[in-house]
Amino acid sequence: MIRRCMAACVFLTVAACSSLSPLPPADPSFRRFEEVRSDLVTLGWLHPGSSSSDQPLFVVVEGDGAAWSLDKSPPSDPTPRSGAGARLASALANGRAVLYLARPGQYLSPEQAARSSIHHWTDRRFAIGPVEALGALIDRALEPGQEMILVGFSGGGVLAAELALRRRDILALITIAAPLDLDGWTRLHNISPLATVSGDLPSSLGKATFAQRHLYGGRDRIVPPVLAGPLRADTVRLLENLGHDDDWAPAVISEIRSLALEGGGTGR
């Protein structure tokens, strides 16, 4: 457990030193939220931005986090090492209301980790428990009448899609290097199938009425762009020069502007 705490502290220190401002878990302008449910602990950090409910809340869902070992053993601490979602949340927080959602098991204290089930960041990481826990944090952060734009990185994009399909307060969904075709992704990497709440996500997203963009990188070997095939072609954007853990913030901000999602635009 000491190793878990030290790893999280080292990550936050390195991240703070390598960017112009600290990332959400260490940034005092972000207020921390907790959702505790028996064996599931989930954390979020809110940057309030404008107090007006006319402006949307940007919700950024972190990726799966720490990689599995070479022998395919899961990490005991899934706190991300690169923090792509955290970096994106920090970039978006410039004048915007942003809620950064860590995934179950990430950034936890030793006491919180001791009560957490490893299943929530392994075989059941896209199941109903994590989806409902993230949804509860969103409900606490939203102002009355406020709508939101869901942004999810990698596996966080799967959960962002699940959340978008369950809610009626969505302006748009933006996923980044997300394995939305989970069956195709697990076959590609020869790993066990992973269940989602909605089953066939590409099919469900194809029927959705909210605005959506799904970004893929031409240099991504973890979630290669071939996996975008089942998605609606008009919702997919390919960025040829980006790899999985590269800086996606400029591309995301560009899509936000193209969808007219700020300044009262609906994007619909």
What are the tens digits of pLDDT across the range 66-85? 766 555 677 788 998 878 99
Better-predicted residue by pLDDT, 155 or 15 = 155
| Sole residue written with tokens 């290669």 | 224
Q: Is residue 266 part of a domain?
A: no
Q: Is residue 29 part of a domain?
A: yes
Q: Is residue 57 part of a domain?
A: yes
Q: Is residue 267 part of a domain?
A: no
Q: Is residue 197 part of a domain?
A: yes
pTM equals 0.89
In this structure, what CATH number is given to the domain that contains residue 168?
3.40.50.1820
User: Looking at residue 61, what DSSP letter applies?
Assistant: E
Q: Is residue 265 part of a domain?
A: no
Q: What is the pLDDT of residue 264?
A: 46
Q: What is the pLDDT of residue 136?
A: 98
pLDDT digits (tens, 9 = 90+) for 194-239: 988 988 999 999 999 999 999 999 999 999 999 999 999 999 999 9
How far is residue 258 from each of residues 72, 95, 235, measured CA to CA in Å?
40, 18, 12
- Number of structural domains (the chain) is 1
Residue 20 structural domain: 2-258
- Whether 50 and 61 have beta carbons less than 8 Å apart is answered as no
Q: Is residue 7 part of a domain?
A: yes
Q: Is residue 196 part of a domain?
A: yes
Confidence class for position 19, pLDDT limits 50, 70, 90: very low
Amino acid making up residue 166: R
